[in-house]
Amino acid sequence: MSSTLLVVGSVAYDTIETHTAKREEILGGAATFIALSASHLCAANVVAVVGEDDFPQTHIDLLTRRGINLDGLERAPGRTFRWAGRYADDFSSRTTLDTQLGVFETFDPKIPEAYRANRYLMLGNIHPALQLKVLDGFGDDTFVAADTMNLWIDTTRELVDALLKRVDLLIINDEEALMLTGERQILPAANKIRAMGPPAVIIKRGEHGAYLFTESVCFFAPALPLAEVVDPTGAGDSFAGGLLGYLAAQDSTGIEVMKTGMLYGAAAASIKVGLFGADEFAAVNREEIDRRVGQLRELVRLGG
């Protein structure tokens, strides 16, 4: 029987510049992309905060049409979080042009009582003090996955270390993994991270796929080769949403289920990078995700 995924993170407006286009104040945020991706596979609940007057009903409708429950979406006095960035021509890097935290600066996650029964929890890369506070409301029967970022590793290392002791799965990129551990290669980095607490670690490498490390397993999920990249913003969160959505749909965290879930995450991420923002991503259908999962399987299938 399918379970429900709880997502705690940011809802934002992004201004994106690439070598081909610029889009201003399009819907984004980690919680948005995670929930949209997961919603193709399971029910999703969101805890986040937006501005009291600048988050229109059209975006509420866009998310709820995907079956996403927004009882935990708080409206607070002020403006919704905004981020602006410019990507390099080859998308290998991006430069932050502007960050306006708005109501996100004082975000204090409030978990509706009905959400506390959720057995799968995805913590977006919000401040680790907030991630820890959310965890205080859940027991050991909740499977917890978390993301973090360079800023928190650099400025709140003790809190990050405390978080790692309490999560079942850490999902980070290769740069963050090396920064967190001081290692130069991802295998020793993954082993060191697992020694810090999480039994499982997924290290994302963008267009080069993602690795799952546990005590007994090292698994590689390839990225789908693409003819064109439009906007990578939210691809990592879309990966996490596809993965956690599949785990919740199967109500299992077994290794084989997690492997397949990584393919669903990779499929969702491959779709996201070809689209601008969450508005376009929300129009994706399950059939396209399943088709791309099939393509990913073909990439690694052995004949004979």
- Taking alpha carbons only, the member of 245, 246, 283, 270 closest to residue 38 is 245
The pLDDT value given to residue 184: 96
The pLDDT value given to residue 30: 97
The pLDDT value given to residue 214: 97
Give the residue ranges of the chain where pLDDT is below 70: 1, 304
* 78 vs 101: CA distance, rounded Å: 10
pTM of the model: 0.97
Strands 210-213 and 200-204: antiparallel
Look up residue 199 and give its amino acid: P
Query: CA of 147: how far to CAs of 106, 168, 181, 196, 241, in Å?
Result: 20, 11, 15, 15, 11
Domains of the chain plus CATH, in order, are: 11-300 (3.40.1190.20)
Render pLDDT for 166-219 as a digit per residue (tens, 0 to 9): 999 999 999 999 999 999 999 999 999 999 999 999 999 999 999 999 999 999
The pLDDT value given to residue 245: 98
